[in-house]
Amino acid sequence: MGSRSELFKVKTLAEVAETLKPYVQSFYERSEEVSLTESFGRILAKDIKVTAPVPHYRKSTVDGLAVRASDTFGASESMPALIQCLGEVYMGIAPVESLKPGEGMLIPTGGMLPEGADAVVMVEHLEDFGQGLYGVGKPIAPAENLIDIGEDLSEGEVIISRFTKIRPQEMGLLASQGVIFVPVLPRFKVGIMSTGDEIISPEVNPAPAESRDINGYTLLGQALEAGAEAKYYGIVKDDAEELRQMLQKMIKENDVVILSGGSSVGVRDFSAQLIEELGKPGLLFHGLALRPGKPAIGGVVDGKLIFGLPGHPASAMVVFDCVVRPWLDVSVLRNQSYPEPEGTLTQNIYSGSGREEFVRVRLLPDGKDWRIEPIRGKSGLIRTMVLADGIVHIDLDTEGIEAGKRVKVRILR
């Protein structure tokens, strides 16, 4: 694991991800099946391939007349091509007729083309001469106004990749392939605990020097939002044995354990010591090159991830979003970035070099653009996170961003 002095050097977010990855790879080898109706928001455990082409028949994209395109070549309004109509195509019924030269069939949008037809003339370009005879006033190209077999999906191709989060459109795609039981990753079990002698439950009126628990609930919400099965274990005072027992229970019952609080150096070191003692490999990072969030710690015990987050609410939320969430929603393995709106910064943002910084901001409409306004406030203030629409990420080696510059905003999902 390296020397202790090496361990206690603050790590960057990228270094933390690389440090933890070998220990959590097995999480993503797991799989369970859920019904298609329950698959929304879940993460695919394997690639889904096309088992049948979509569509599996030629279908019209307009109301009109299914024809052989070659019968319309040279047609004009003054000299229309004449097509004898054999009847009508009905939705959901495969036509039995096969078109010979000069023949056609009326067809609705979505109807199946009869054998021999390779194009559809829009109804606007037809003239009804009576007795089933139609004039076509302009030539039409082969494959015009139709969707061909396999044009949407061709057999054998991967249509949804492993680790994709299932949205409504993926549900529809799975339905098109007859996939009614979907292989997904089991939901991560996340246990959350708040620590500190000064922390009390929300229903209690705080005495001087006491604070209601905020982090237990913000972190629970963030874990649920990331798709986890999350449980709040309550508050544990700064007592060695009580904390040890609760951590052991949480490690046994969860994949990921989060404790927040312990902002004072002594308590944080004590939590770090416990993580080190409870199992191998133990503590893997002690401090982040991050603002807010430098005091965060973390490690692995018996294959379970453990994170110690700062006590300040905004810090805890930022560290969760940067360090914990990517494992829960699997974005750390997908290398997928979320779309980030861009706008003009209204004020200078200063940052110390050698660390990454996440600045809370508001998005203010400015015509078709956005003005990005930093929210000033300390990391202990939960209101700054409520006011924030998103956060601006300042890279490791950037000392700040000047007002008037274009910046991207990570929306607080």
* Same domain (yes/no): 306, 228: yes
CATH number at residue 175: 3.90.105.10
CA atoms of 20 and 28, how far apart (whole Å): 13
Cα dist from 214 to 162, 206, 383, whole Å: 36, 13, 11
Task: Using alpha carbons only, give the angle 331, 335, 338 rounded to the nearest 5 degrees.
Answer: 65
The token duo for 118 is 């390779």
CATH number at residue 364: 2.40.340.10
AA identity, residue 162: R
Rg (CA), the chain: 31
349-405 residue pLDDT tens: 887 667 888 888 999 998 888 999 988 876 666 777 788 888 888 888 787 888 888
CA atoms of 392 and 409, how far apart (whole Å): 5
How many residues can be counted in the chain? 413
AA identity, residue 296: A
Q: For residues 381 and 9, which has the higher predicted lDDT (pLDDT)?
A: 9
Residues 307 and 296 sit within 8 Å (Cβ to Cβ): yes
CA atoms of 193 and 215, how far apart (whole Å): 9
Q: Which domain holds residue 134?
A: 59-147
122-138 residue pLDDT tens: 999 999 999 999 999 99
The last residue of one of the domains, among 89, 120, 147, is 147
312-346 residue pLDDT tens: 888 899 899 989 999 999 988 876 566 788 899 99
Task: Using alpha carbons only, give the angle 308, 313, 316 rounded to the nearest 5 degrees.
Answer: 35
Residues 155 and 52 sit within 8 Å (Cβ to Cβ): yes
The last residue of one of the domains, among 316, 334, 352, is 334
26-61 residue pLDDT tens: 999 999 999 999 999 999 999 999 888 888 899 999
The conformation of residue 243, written as its DSSP 8-state character, comes to: H
Tell me what the pLDDT averaged over the chain comes to: 88
Q: Is the pLDDT of residue 152 over 70?
A: yes
Average pLDDT (205-231) is 91
The structure's pTM equals 0.77
Write down the residue that tokens 């569509």 correspond to.
55
Longest C-alpha distance within the chain, in Å? Answer: 96
Q: Is the pLDDT of residue 174 over 80?
A: yes
* Same domain (yes/no): 172, 194: no
Residue of 396, 393, 384 lying closest to 411 (CA atoms): 393
What percent of the chain is modeled with pLDDT above 90? Answer: 48
On the question of a cis peptide bond just before residue 292, with omega within 30 degrees of 0, the verdict is yes
* Same domain (yes/no): 46, 140: no
Considering its fold, how many domains does the chain have in total? 4
* Same domain (yes/no): 195, 310: yes
pLDDT band at residue 2 using 50, 70 and 90 as cut-offs: very low
CATH number at residue 80: 2.170.190.11
Cα dist from 147 to 61, 62, 123, 144, 209, whole Å: 7, 10, 17, 8, 70
* Same domain (yes/no): 208, 289: yes
Give 253-309 as a 3 state SS string.
HCCEEEEECCCCHHHHHHHHHHHHHHCCEEEEEECECEECCCCCEEEEECCEEEEEE
CA atoms of 166 and 412, how far apart (whole Å): 20
